[in-house]
Amino acid sequence: MVYNDEPQGDSIPNASRRSDAPHPIDNPAAHQAAAIPDTLVEGRFGTMLEPVLQLVCEGRLSEVGWFRTDWQRGGAVTGYATYRDDGGVDRPVVVKMPVPPCELQWMSALQDAPDVVPTLFAGGEMLGGYDMAWLVMERLPFGPLGSAWDGQEFELLIGAIGRFYQAASRFPINTERYHRDWDGIFNQARRSVRDHALPEPQRWSKALKKAHRKYRDWVAIWNDRPLEYWCHGDLHLGNAMTRSEPPGGPAVLFDLAKVCVSHWVQDGVYLEHLYWGRPGDLDGHKLCKELAHHRKKLGLAV
């Protein structure tokens, strides 16, 4: 398993924001116009907050069709709607709430960078008096990336993360560094094999015994890596879509909740490790190497 060795969802520090970077759209006065019941019943969360959301969006947001995907956990909800832009055109949008503040901040900050993230139409860090980040963003028509792109999906994804790196490099790295307790993680793994009825326990024990001889060297290499890059933190085909019909591009990234400070290779290894059990799906792609080549092509450090 590959771990992100930073607190999930590092925010852009206030001091690092450019003075002309977009900020979340909010209307505090509208928050007072409607009350939210104290009990948020699962399945009705979006419906209960929708009147407040309509007020904050000043009537531009249509009725929202709320849903929950199979992979969503907790109380977050997503919905489809339309949003009337400044030109009076109704745009298909996705409504997400709550979202980590980090996701909203990065979505806002990257709006002036072309083809990096979807267009953000509205968003804020409060709703109905609650400390709750939310956003209304462009609904991308095609994707997520997959086989419909005729083998071009990995090139499109690497192009998208390259644009993200270029745009994010404008923001200085001044967040706190964080290191995991690898000894504790390793010991917990051994206790889990010993105490729980895991499948193939002898195989796990043998693997952990072999790893014990090497893992301190691995950890030393990992901890010594330069922590000087903003990384997406959750880079995979499911987090990229396009505005053009397959196999066209470019791809646009979303789900920025795990953006973190690390080394860029973390994104490459995270993406590549998803295919360790089925390397045939890569069709010969060497993702870390291709990502390094693309960074070099863009003039970014490798």
- Model pLDDT, residue 219: 92
Range of the domain at 67: 14-138
- Confirm whether 41 is domain-assigned: yes
Tokens 């249509």 sit on residue: 62
Q: Contact 190/204 with Cβ under 8 angstroms?
A: no
pTM, to two decimals? 0.82
Kind and range of the H or E run holding 91: strand 90-97
Amino acid sitting at position 1: M
Tokens 């690390």 sit on residue: 262
Q: Which of 9-18, 125-134, 166-175 bottoms out in mean pLDDT, i.e. has the lowest?
A: 9-18
Residues 131 and 189 in one domain: no
Kindly report the number of other CB atoms within 10 A of residue 120's CB atom. Answer: 20
- Model pLDDT, residue 180: 83
- Confirm whether 243 is domain-assigned: no
Residues 40 and 125 in one domain: yes
Residues 209 and 125 in one domain: no
Last residue of a domain, one of 223, 255, 272: 223
Residues 53 and 131 in one domain: yes
Last residue of a domain, one of 196, 223, 250: 223
CATH number, domain of 54, equals 3.30.200
22-38 pLDDT, tens digit each: 333 333 333 333 343 44
83-138 pLDDT, tens digit each: 999 999 999 999 999 999 999 999 999 999 999 999 999 999 998 888 899 999 99
- Model pLDDT, residue 21: 35
Tokens 């053009």 sit on residue: 244
Residue 75 pLDDT class (50, 70, 90 cuts): low
Give whichever of 12-16, 126-130, 272-276 has the largest mean pLDDT.
Answer: 272-276
- Confirm whether 103 is domain-assigned: yes
The candidate with the shortest Cα–Cα distance to 107, out of 122, 90, 92, 126, is: 122
- Model pLDDT, residue 20: 37
Last residue of a domain, one of 75, 104, 138: 138
Look up residue 275 and give its two tokens: 């295919």
Kind and range of the H or E run holding 193: helix 182-195
- Confirm whether 132 is domain-assigned: yes
Residue 69 pLDDT class (50, 70, 90 cuts): low
Residues 211 and 125 in one domain: no
- Confirm whether 33 is domain-assigned: yes
- Model pLDDT, residue 33: 36
Q: Contact 8/256 with Cβ under 8 angstroms?
A: no
The per-residue DSSP string of 229-265 comes to EEE-SS-SGGGEEESS-TT---EEE---TT-EEE-TH
Q: Contact 116/22 with Cβ under 8 angstroms?
A: no
Residue 142 pLDDT > 60? yes
How far is CA 37 from its chain centroid? 30
% of the chain residues with pLDDT over 70: 81
In the chain, the number of structural domains is 2
- Model pLDDT, residue 3: 40
- Confirm whether 283 is domain-assigned: no
Residues 59 and 132 in one domain: yes
Residue 7 pLDDT > 80? no
Residue with more model confidence, 7 or 260: 260
- Confirm whether 46 is domain-assigned: yes
Residues 40 and 124 in one domain: yes
- Model pLDDT, residue 279: 92
Euclidean distance between the first and the last CA atom of the chain, given in angstroms as a whole number: 24
CA-angle at 88, arms to 22 and 47, nearest 5°: 75
How far is CA 110 from its chain centroid? 13
Q: What distance in Å separates the CA atoms of residue 18 and residue 101, rounded to the nearest whole number?
A: 18
- Model pLDDT, residue 72: 54
- Confirm whether 200 is domain-assigned: yes
CA quadruple 168, 170, 176, 181: dihedral positive or negative? positive
Residue 80 pLDDT > 90? yes
Residue 47 pLDDT class (50, 70, 90 cuts): confident
Q: What distance in Å separates the CA atoms of residue 192 and residue 294, rounded to the nearest whole number?
A: 41
